[in-house]
A and B are shown apart, each in its own frame.
Chain A
Amino acid sequence: MALTEYPFVISTDTANGVVDLDSLTLEIAASSITVALDNLTRSGDALGVWFKAGLTQAQQTTLAGVIAAHTGTPSGGEPRDEMGNPVVTTYAFAYIEGQKTRFKKFKYDVPVGTTGIFDELITTQVWIQGGTYRVKGANADDMDKADFAVVDKDDVLGIHTALGIPLGTPIEVDHYVVSEWIESENPQADLRVTTAGKLYAGLYLRAKYESAGQQGDADPRVFIRYLWFEE
Protein backbone atom coordinates (compact mmCIF):
# COMPACT_ATOMS: atom_id res chain seq x y z
CA MET A 1 0.00 0.00 0.00
CA ALA A 2 1.28 3.41 -0.87
CA LEU A 3 0.60 6.57 1.03
CA THR A 4 -1.69 8.73 -1.03
CA GLU A 5 -2.34 12.43 -0.58
CA TYR A 6 -5.58 14.19 -1.37
CA PRO A 7 -4.97 17.95 -1.51
CA PHE A 8 -7.52 20.61 -0.61
CA VAL A 9 -7.59 24.38 -0.31
CA ILE A 10 -8.63 25.42 3.16
CA SER A 11 -10.10 28.81 2.27
CA THR A 12 -12.39 27.45 -0.42
CA ASP A 13 -12.95 23.76 0.24
CA THR A 14 -14.02 23.94 3.92
CA ALA A 15 -17.25 25.36 5.31
CA ASN A 16 -15.74 28.37 7.05
CA GLY A 17 -12.32 28.61 5.45
CA VAL A 18 -10.62 27.29 8.58
CA VAL A 19 -9.48 23.88 9.67
CA ASP A 20 -8.96 22.17 12.99
CA LEU A 21 -6.81 19.14 12.36
CA ASP A 22 -7.87 17.24 15.48
CA SER A 23 -11.59 17.54 14.84
CA LEU A 24 -11.14 16.86 11.11
CA THR A 25 -9.29 13.67 11.97
CA LEU A 26 -12.25 12.56 14.06
CA GLU A 27 -14.71 13.52 11.33
CA ILE A 28 -12.84 11.48 8.73
CA ALA A 29 -12.64 8.56 11.14
CA ALA A 30 -16.40 8.77 11.66
CA SER A 31 -17.12 8.76 7.91
CA SER A 32 -17.74 5.68 5.77
CA ILE A 33 -14.16 5.75 4.45
CA THR A 34 -12.57 2.48 5.44
CA VAL A 35 -9.02 3.19 4.29
CA ALA A 36 -6.86 4.18 7.24
CA LEU A 37 -5.96 7.83 7.57
CA ASP A 38 -2.23 8.38 7.88
CA ASN A 39 -2.02 12.06 8.78
CA LEU A 40 -3.11 15.57 7.94
CA THR A 41 -0.74 18.31 6.88
CA ARG A 42 -1.31 22.02 6.68
CA SER A 43 0.91 24.52 4.91
CA GLY A 44 -0.53 27.97 4.55
CA ASP A 45 -3.84 27.52 2.77
CA ALA A 46 -3.03 24.01 1.63
CA LEU A 47 -4.45 21.01 3.42
CA GLY A 48 -3.06 17.55 2.69
CA VAL A 49 -5.08 14.50 3.67
CA TRP A 50 -2.88 11.43 3.59
CA PHE A 51 -4.25 7.91 3.54
CA LYS A 52 -2.41 4.64 3.88
CA ALA A 53 -3.69 3.67 0.42
CA GLY A 54 -5.61 5.20 -2.43
CA LEU A 55 -9.35 5.87 -2.12
CA THR A 56 -12.02 4.70 -4.53
CA GLN A 57 -13.90 7.34 -6.47
CA ALA A 58 -16.85 7.01 -4.08
CA GLN A 59 -14.57 7.42 -1.09
CA GLN A 60 -12.98 10.50 -2.65
CA THR A 61 -16.46 11.99 -3.02
CA THR A 62 -17.17 11.19 0.63
CA LEU A 63 -13.89 12.80 1.67
CA ALA A 64 -14.71 15.94 -0.30
CA GLY A 65 -18.07 16.03 1.49
CA VAL A 66 -16.41 15.71 4.90
CA ILE A 67 -14.01 18.53 4.06
CA ALA A 68 -16.84 20.71 2.76
CA ALA A 69 -18.82 20.19 5.97
CA HIS A 70 -15.84 20.80 8.23
CA THR A 71 -16.39 23.99 10.23
CA GLY A 72 -12.98 24.27 11.86
CA THR A 73 -14.46 24.08 15.33
CA PRO A 74 -12.33 22.18 17.83
CA SER A 75 -14.02 18.96 18.78
CA GLY A 76 -13.07 19.47 22.36
CA GLY A 77 -14.15 16.72 24.64
CA GLU A 78 -13.20 19.03 27.43
CA PRO A 79 -16.10 20.65 29.29
CA ARG A 80 -17.24 24.05 28.06
CA ASP A 81 -19.44 26.72 29.61
CA GLU A 82 -22.59 28.13 28.01
CA MET A 83 -20.44 30.63 26.08
CA GLY A 84 -18.39 27.83 24.59
CA ASN A 85 -15.29 28.64 26.61
CA PRO A 86 -13.28 25.70 27.93
CA VAL A 87 -13.87 25.05 31.59
CA VAL A 88 -10.48 24.64 33.17
CA THR A 89 -9.27 24.34 36.68
CA THR A 90 -6.01 25.98 37.49
CA TYR A 91 -5.45 24.57 40.91
CA ALA A 92 -8.31 22.34 42.01
CA PHE A 93 -7.54 18.67 42.47
CA ALA A 94 -8.79 16.49 39.70
CA TYR A 95 -12.02 14.60 40.01
CA ILE A 96 -12.31 11.05 38.79
CA GLU A 97 -15.81 9.98 37.88
CA GLY A 98 -17.38 7.47 40.21
CA GLN A 99 -14.92 8.10 43.02
CA LYS A 100 -15.13 10.26 46.08
CA THR A 101 -12.43 12.86 46.65
CA ARG A 102 -10.89 12.78 50.08
CA PHE A 103 -8.40 15.07 51.74
CA LYS A 104 -6.78 13.67 54.84
CA LYS A 105 -4.53 15.80 56.97
CA PHE A 106 -2.07 14.66 59.61
CA LYS A 107 0.02 16.58 62.10
CA TYR A 108 3.35 15.24 63.29
CA ASP A 109 5.82 16.59 65.82
CA VAL A 110 9.39 15.61 65.16
CA PRO A 111 11.78 16.01 68.11
CA VAL A 112 14.51 18.31 66.89
CA GLY A 113 17.61 16.50 65.70
CA THR A 114 15.83 13.20 65.15
CA THR A 115 14.30 11.33 62.26
CA GLY A 116 10.57 10.88 62.57
CA ILE A 117 8.86 8.09 60.65
CA PHE A 118 5.08 8.17 60.54
CA ASP A 119 3.02 5.35 59.09
CA GLU A 120 -0.66 5.77 58.36
CA LEU A 121 -2.67 2.65 57.68
CA ILE A 122 -4.90 2.72 54.62
CA THR A 123 -8.14 1.12 55.71
CA THR A 124 -9.88 0.97 52.36
CA GLN A 125 -8.63 0.76 48.82
CA VAL A 126 -7.83 4.24 47.61
CA TRP A 127 -6.30 5.94 44.62
CA ILE A 128 -3.73 8.42 45.80
CA GLN A 129 -2.71 11.40 43.74
CA GLY A 130 -0.35 13.24 46.01
CA GLY A 131 -0.67 15.90 48.62
CA THR A 132 0.88 18.83 50.35
CA TYR A 133 3.20 19.33 53.26
CA ARG A 134 3.99 22.31 55.40
CA VAL A 135 6.37 22.77 58.29
CA LYS A 136 5.20 25.21 60.88
CA GLY A 137 6.74 28.62 61.16
CA ALA A 138 10.43 28.97 61.78
CA ASN A 139 10.87 25.41 62.95
CA ALA A 140 12.24 24.19 59.64
CA ASP A 141 15.93 24.02 58.92
CA ASP A 142 17.48 24.15 55.45
CA MET A 143 19.13 20.82 56.18
CA ASP A 144 15.83 19.12 57.02
CA LYS A 145 14.44 16.75 54.46
CA ALA A 146 11.36 14.67 53.91
CA ASP A 147 10.61 11.42 52.12
CA PHE A 148 7.28 9.86 51.27
CA ALA A 149 6.74 6.20 50.53
CA VAL A 150 4.27 3.34 50.58
CA VAL A 151 5.19 0.35 52.72
CA ASP A 152 3.72 -3.06 53.35
CA LYS A 153 4.19 -4.24 56.93
CA ASP A 154 1.42 -6.80 57.19
CA ASP A 155 1.98 -9.10 54.19
CA VAL A 156 -0.75 -7.47 52.11
CA LEU A 157 1.20 -8.21 48.94
CA GLY A 158 2.43 -11.61 50.12
CA ILE A 159 6.14 -10.74 50.11
CA HIS A 160 6.66 -11.43 53.81
CA THR A 161 5.31 -14.95 53.48
CA ALA A 162 7.12 -15.62 50.24
CA LEU A 163 10.48 -14.65 51.73
CA GLY A 164 9.91 -15.57 55.36
CA ILE A 165 10.24 -11.99 56.55
CA PRO A 166 8.69 -11.34 59.98
CA LEU A 167 5.34 -9.55 59.91
CA GLY A 168 5.71 -5.91 60.86
CA THR A 169 8.90 -5.47 58.84
CA PRO A 170 8.33 -2.59 56.43
CA ILE A 171 8.85 -3.45 52.78
CA GLU A 172 9.00 -0.39 50.61
CA VAL A 173 6.56 -0.70 47.74
CA ASP A 174 7.17 2.74 46.31
CA HIS A 175 9.29 5.69 47.34
CA TYR A 176 7.58 8.46 45.50
CA VAL A 177 9.16 11.54 47.09
CA VAL A 178 12.89 11.14 47.58
CA SER A 179 14.98 13.53 49.68
CA GLU A 180 12.72 16.54 49.52
CA TRP A 181 14.96 19.19 51.04
CA ILE A 182 12.96 21.64 53.09
CA GLU A 183 13.38 25.28 52.25
CA SER A 184 13.23 27.09 55.58
CA GLU A 185 12.12 30.29 53.87
CA ASN A 186 9.12 28.53 52.39
CA PRO A 187 8.76 25.13 54.04
CA GLN A 188 5.82 23.79 52.09
CA ALA A 189 5.01 22.20 48.75
CA ASP A 190 2.21 20.74 46.71
CA LEU A 191 3.38 17.44 45.27
CA ARG A 192 0.76 16.06 42.97
CA VAL A 193 0.82 13.89 39.88
CA THR A 194 -1.72 13.86 37.08
CA THR A 195 -2.81 10.28 37.60
CA ALA A 196 -3.74 8.50 40.77
CA GLY A 197 -2.01 5.32 41.96
CA LYS A 198 -3.88 2.42 43.49
CA LEU A 199 -3.24 1.65 47.15
CA TYR A 200 -4.66 -1.50 48.66
CA ALA A 201 -6.22 -1.52 52.10
CA GLY A 202 -3.65 -2.63 54.63
CA LEU A 203 -0.70 -0.77 53.09
CA TYR A 204 0.77 2.21 54.86
CA LEU A 205 1.56 5.73 53.73
CA ARG A 206 4.95 6.45 55.21
CA ALA A 207 6.24 9.95 55.84
CA LYS A 208 9.80 10.40 57.02
CA TYR A 209 11.14 13.71 58.27
CA GLU A 210 14.79 14.21 59.14
CA SER A 211 15.30 17.15 61.45
CA ALA A 212 18.78 18.64 61.38
CA GLY A 213 18.23 21.21 64.09
CA GLN A 214 20.27 21.38 67.26
CA GLN A 215 19.12 20.82 70.79
CA GLY A 216 17.40 23.93 72.00
CA ASP A 217 15.78 24.62 68.63
CA ALA A 218 12.05 24.22 68.36
CA ASP A 219 10.73 20.83 67.29
CA PRO A 220 9.51 20.86 63.70
CA ARG A 221 5.77 20.42 63.44
CA VAL A 222 4.88 18.90 60.09
CA PHE A 223 1.46 19.03 58.51
CA ILE A 224 0.80 16.59 55.69
CA ARG A 225 -2.38 16.53 53.67
CA TYR A 226 -2.91 13.58 51.37
CA LEU A 227 -5.31 13.62 48.46
CA TRP A 228 -6.91 10.37 47.48
CA PHE A 229 -10.03 8.97 45.90
CA GLU A 230 -12.22 6.25 47.29
CA GLU A 231 -14.46 4.05 45.18
Chain B
Amino acid sequence: MPNENKVMINGKPATPIKKIRLKDLLSEKEIEQLVRAGHVDNVPGLREKLQRGDAAKKEEIKNG
Protein backbone atom coordinates (compact mmCIF):
# COMPACT_ATOMS: atom_id res chain seq x y z
CA MET B 1 0.00 0.00 0.00
CA PRO B 2 1.18 3.56 -0.56
CA ASN B 3 3.18 5.01 2.26
CA GLU B 4 1.10 8.03 3.22
CA ASN B 5 3.98 9.36 5.29
CA LYS B 6 6.06 9.96 2.22
CA VAL B 7 4.38 12.82 0.48
CA MET B 8 6.01 14.97 -2.16
CA ILE B 9 4.38 18.24 -3.14
CA ASN B 10 5.61 19.47 -6.49
CA GLY B 11 8.63 17.23 -6.12
CA LYS B 12 9.60 18.37 -2.63
CA PRO B 13 9.16 16.33 0.52
CA ALA B 14 6.25 17.63 2.54
CA THR B 15 4.49 16.88 5.76
CA PRO B 16 0.99 15.61 5.11
CA ILE B 17 -1.49 18.30 6.05
CA LYS B 18 -5.03 17.80 7.10
CA LYS B 19 -7.37 18.13 4.19
CA ILE B 20 -9.66 21.13 4.32
CA ARG B 21 -12.64 20.63 2.08
CA LEU B 22 -15.23 23.20 1.14
CA LYS B 23 -17.86 20.52 1.43
CA ASP B 24 -17.07 20.21 5.13
CA LEU B 25 -17.74 23.91 5.57
CA LEU B 26 -20.63 24.64 3.25
CA SER B 27 -23.64 22.97 1.72
CA GLU B 28 -23.58 21.88 -1.90
CA LYS B 29 -25.80 24.78 -2.83
CA GLU B 30 -23.55 27.26 -1.06
CA ILE B 31 -20.48 25.84 -2.77
CA GLU B 32 -22.21 26.19 -6.11
CA GLN B 33 -23.10 29.81 -5.30
CA LEU B 34 -19.53 30.50 -4.20
CA VAL B 35 -17.97 28.92 -7.26
CA ARG B 36 -20.31 30.89 -9.52
CA ALA B 37 -19.75 34.14 -7.67
CA GLY B 38 -16.00 33.72 -7.36
CA HIS B 39 -15.63 35.11 -3.85
CA VAL B 40 -17.17 34.69 -0.41
CA ASP B 41 -18.16 38.34 -0.30
CA ASN B 42 -20.15 38.03 -3.52
CA VAL B 43 -22.60 35.63 -1.87
CA PRO B 44 -24.74 37.46 0.68
CA GLY B 45 -24.37 36.08 4.17
CA LEU B 46 -21.73 33.50 3.33
CA ARG B 47 -18.83 35.16 5.13
CA GLU B 48 -21.00 35.59 8.21
CA LYS B 49 -22.06 31.97 8.06
CA LEU B 50 -18.45 30.80 7.84
CA GLN B 51 -17.43 33.05 10.70
CA ARG B 52 -20.36 31.91 12.81
CA GLY B 53 -19.34 28.28 12.29
CA ASP B 54 -18.62 25.97 15.13
CA ALA B 55 -15.65 27.39 17.07
CA ALA B 56 -14.07 24.00 17.75
CA LYS B 57 -14.27 23.09 14.10
CA LYS B 58 -12.70 26.38 13.05
CA GLU B 59 -9.88 25.86 15.52
CA GLU B 60 -9.34 22.37 14.15
CA ILE B 61 -9.19 23.73 10.63
CA LYS B 62 -6.81 26.53 11.55
CA ASN B 63 -4.49 24.10 13.22
CA GLY B 64 -4.58 21.76 10.25
List the interface of chain A (C-beta within 8 A of B): 109-111, 113-119, 143-145, 156-159, 161-166, 169-175, 197-198, 200, 210-212
Contacts and interface: CB of A to CB of B under 8 A. Distances in A.
Nearest to B49: A162
Interface in B7-62: 7-11, 14, 17, 19-23, 25, 31, 34-36, 38-41, 47, 50-51, 53, 58, 61-62
Interface of B: 1-4, 6-11, 14, 17, 19-23, 25, 31, 34-36, 38-41, 47, 50-51, 53, 58, 61-62, 64
B46 to A, nearest CB: 8
A172 B22 contact: yes
Contact of B7 (A115, A145, A170, A212): A115
Nearest to A150: B35
A159 B50 contact: yes
Contacts of B61: 163, 165
A210 B4 CA distance: 8
Contacts of B1: 143, 212
A198 B33 CA distance: 12
In this complex, the member of A115, A145, A156, A174 whose beta carbon has the largest number of chain B beta carbons within 10 angstroms is: A115
Q: Which 10 A-B pairs have the closest CB atoms?
A: A158-B40, A210-B2, A114-B6, A172-B21, A162-B50, A117-B9, A171-B20, A115-B7, A158-B39, A116-B8
Contacts of B40: 157-159, 161-162
Contacts of A144: 2
Nearest to A141: B2
Contact of B38 (A119, A157, A163, A172): A157
15 contacts: A111-B6, A114-B3, A114-B8, A116-B7, A117-B8, A119-B9, A119-B10, A157-B40, A159-B40, A163-B25, A163-B53, A164-B58, A170-B20, A172-B22, A174-B35
